[in-house]
Amino acid sequence: MVKEWLQCQNRKSYQLAEEIGIRPQTFYAQMSVRKISANTKKALSRIIPKLAADADLNASSSEKENNPEKLKIKEWLRTHGKTRQWLAEQCRVSVRTVHTWFAFRGSIPVTQSLFIGKLMSEGEPWKIQISNTIPVIFSETEMSIIHKFQERHPEIDLPMYGMHKILELCVNVLVQDEYSNPLQTSGFIRTPEICTREAE
């Protein structure tokens, strides 16, 4: 419904994000996977009244209390003998942040949700060996740095962390693409980087 509204109003997602007061990257990610947080739903309902009655955007209090995604993640952690501290380390956040995600009114950010889903689908995080088998070409000096890092921090899963950062990059670039659309630039200050890319 939100996408249809944007099309009818001839507006971009970043413009709506700015109007409801959230980061465009966050809103774009939520829209991409159709997982809109409770706070975003509430803000959107003030601008798009029809959303207040939309079943997809307004789960009952019992559904919020028994969030299937959170329950699934908790069960997976329990059956695999993993702790919230372990999950925090994999997601590169504090354990307090993870506790906030699992709180009654908390929500897991979209990019983190996708990352956790990948962890769960793999069963176990990839085990990195100290060798030149990372699927990226590094120089000898660069590999020596990577080897030293792996030796000192074996608990950090480099491929999974890299996938998470790539996902963040993709979302940020896609949002920037919307900003740089020459047909929709009102209220946006064009940066030199964008101008250079458009010139190319």
User: Which pTM value belongs to this model?
Assistant: 0.37
Give the single-character DSSP code of 129: P
The Cα 117–Cα 90 span in angstroms is 12
Domain range for 13 is: 2-58+168-199
Question: Do 89 and 160 touch, CB atoms closer than 8 A?
Answer: no
Q: Judge whether 130 lies within some domain.
A: no
Q: Judge whether 148 lies within some domain.
A: no
Domain-ending residue, one of 123, 139, 156: 123
**Whether the predicted pLDDT of 2 surpasses 60:** yes
What tens digit of pLDDT does each residue of 154-183 get? 787 777 777 777 778 878 888 788 777 655
Q: What CATH number has the domain bearing residue 99?
A: 1.10.260
Which residues have a Cβ under 8 Å from the Cβ of 24 and sit 6 or more positions away? 13, 14, 17, 18, 175, 178, 179
- The verdict on 72 and 117 lying in the same domain is yes
Number of domains making up the chain: 2
Q: Judge whether 145 lies within some domain.
A: no
